[in-house]
């Protein structure tokens, strides 16, 4: 995929809602390469390799779909808490590929382990770290049910390893993030800094995702890299917590993919002293930075929803519990009627009322208050005395819309993020494989 960086940075309309493009920094102990295995037949980059020359701790969360990619099955069978590489391919999901998909990963892992070991043998200091196939993770995204192109990927492994570079600048990160895209219109990148004890820590993250996006992740991949020295068990715990209010707080079309994966890798290059447990105060700043980074990436995914023109936040407050607020928020956000109203810039708040009611939650209709931004549309079981159709129609022209539902029955709250449904979404998905 050829993407002009200057043009990307000038593309303000969508990106302005999420802030300026962040320039990611170097993560010591990480090497990256992205090349084309010609999986698309167009020469665009479709393979990306992340190599941890001295190994990395990691934590990962995967889709809850009962049918999942062979790549995810492979990762779940890896019992090591210390790995050496992650290989990502696009175009093919390696899902419902059976034995062929399994054997393909085994063959690729053997070739990759061999080539990485040979690379290690070329070190000037004469030391060689042997890379084993069970120290390699995989991620795949693309079309479900098509034969996995194992031989094409395997044939590209020597070039992929040869192109590894340990100096990451903005172009390297941009190239990596672009190589994992499918229907995305732009790469997703985010960067944060924090401190653990008295040490400066970096976090770099990339993601892909545009459609088949729903809670429990959604046809999305995201990878976070840090130079901190954090044990795998704590990384996974922190990741699961951060995912709950980021990637599991977004929906494009209510569909949960077979290939979802979010992973964090720590190269352990910045020594931060012993961490005693996941609640160690030393980790607080890191936890906040991770949450901020993942939420940034999650919002970028929604902002790039297939055919999307509007970024929509649905905020439910004063529910009996956070779970109740979450259920109602997603009941609204996943409604095709609500999403098409957003696309048509129609302030049809009756569709919000419908979404609240169909959630199955026990509510008090006469207490509900609904706002579009700062504009009140409903309260006390009826249309608000402040209702102003002209102001609402003007507000609906914005590219970022806030819907707030105040239930006034408790203290629970939740925000979810979605987008509108346009004709472009339909057109894209009626011809997805082409």
Q: Which domains, and CATH codes, for the chain?
A: 18-303 (3.60.70.12), 311-430 (3.10.20.340)
Q: Output the six-digit token pair for 211.
A: 């459609």
Q: Is 219 a catalytic residue?
A: yes
pLDDT for position 369: 97
Cβ(47)–Cβ(37) below 8 Å: yes
**Is 98's pLDDT higher than 90?**
yes
Residue with tokens 């040490």: 199
**Is 26's pLDDT higher than 80?**
yes
Where do runs of H (alpha helix) occur along 253-395? 284-303, 322-333, 336-343, 350-358, 389-395
d(CA 428, CA 331): 24
**Is 111's pLDDT higher than 50?**
yes
User: Rounded to 5 degrees, what angle do the CA atoms 323, 415, 223 make?
Assistant: 100
Task: Classify strands 199-208 and 221-228 as parallel, antiparallel or unpaired.
Answer: antiparallel
Q: What is the rounded average pLDDT of the residues 190-203?
A: 95
- Dump pLDDT digits (tens) for 344-374: 999 999 999 999 999 999 999 999 999 999 9
Among 95, 219, 272, 422, the active-site one is 219
Query: b/e string for 38-77 if b means 16 or more Cβ within 10 A?
Result: bbeeeebbbbbbbbbbebbbbbbbbbebeebbbbbbbbee
- Dump pLDDT digits (tens) for 50-78: 999 999 999 999 988 888 999 999 999 99
């Amino acid at each position: 995929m050829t993407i002009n960086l200057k043009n990307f940075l000038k593309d303000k309309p969508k990106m302005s809602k999420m802030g300026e493009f962040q320039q990611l920094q170097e993560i010591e102990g990480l090497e990256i390469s992205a090349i084309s295995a010609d999986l698309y037949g167009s020469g665009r980059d479709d393979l990306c390799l992340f190599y941890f020359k001295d190994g990395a701790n990691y934590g990962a969360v995967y889709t809850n779909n009962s049918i999942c990619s062979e790549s995810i099955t492979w990762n779940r069978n890896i019992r090591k808490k210390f790995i050496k590489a992650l290989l990502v391919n696009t175009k093919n999901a390696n899902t419902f590929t059976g034995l062929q998909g399994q054997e393909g990963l085994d063959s690729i892992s053997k070739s990759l382990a061999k080539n990485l070991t040979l690379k290690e043998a070329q070190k000037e200091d004469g030391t060689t770290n042997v890379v084993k196939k069970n120290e390699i993770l995989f991620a795949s995204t693309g079309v479900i049910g098509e034969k996995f192109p194992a031989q094409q990927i395997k044939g590209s492994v020597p070039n992929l390893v040869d192109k590894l570079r340990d100096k990451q600048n903005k172009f390297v990160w941009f190239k990596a993030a672009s190589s994992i895209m499918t229907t995305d219109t732009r790469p997703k990148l985010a960067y944060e800094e924090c401190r653990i004890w008295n040490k400066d820590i970096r976090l770099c993250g990339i993601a892909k995702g545009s459609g088949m996006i729903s809670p429990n992740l959604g046809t999305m991949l995201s990878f976070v890299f840090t130079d901190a020295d954090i044990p795998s068990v704590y990384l996974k715990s922190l990741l699961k917590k951060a995912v709950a209010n980021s990637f599991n707080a977004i929906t494009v079309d209510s569909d949960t993919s077979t290939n979802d994966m979010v992973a964090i890798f720590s190269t352990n290059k910045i020594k931060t002293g012993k961490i005693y447990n996941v609640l160690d105060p030393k980790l607080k700043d890191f936890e906040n930075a991770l949450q901020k980074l993942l939420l940034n990436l999650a919002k970028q995914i929604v902002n790039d929803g297939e055919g999307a023109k509007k970024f929509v936040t649905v905020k439910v407050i004063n529910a009996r519990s956070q779970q109740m607020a979450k259920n109602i928020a997603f009941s609204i956000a996943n409604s095709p009627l609500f999403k098409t109203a957003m696309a048509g810039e129609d302030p049809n708040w009756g569709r919000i009322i419908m979404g609240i009611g169909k959630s199955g939650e026990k509510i008090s209709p006469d207490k509900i208050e609904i706002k579009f931004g700062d504009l009140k549309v409903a309260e006390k079981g009826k249309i608000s005395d402040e209702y102003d159709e002209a102001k609402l129609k003007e507000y609906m022209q914005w590219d970022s819309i806030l819907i707030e539902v105040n239930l006034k029955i408790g203290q629970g709250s939740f925000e979810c993020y979605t987008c509108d449904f346009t004709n472009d979404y339909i057109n894209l998905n009626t011809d997805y494989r082409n």
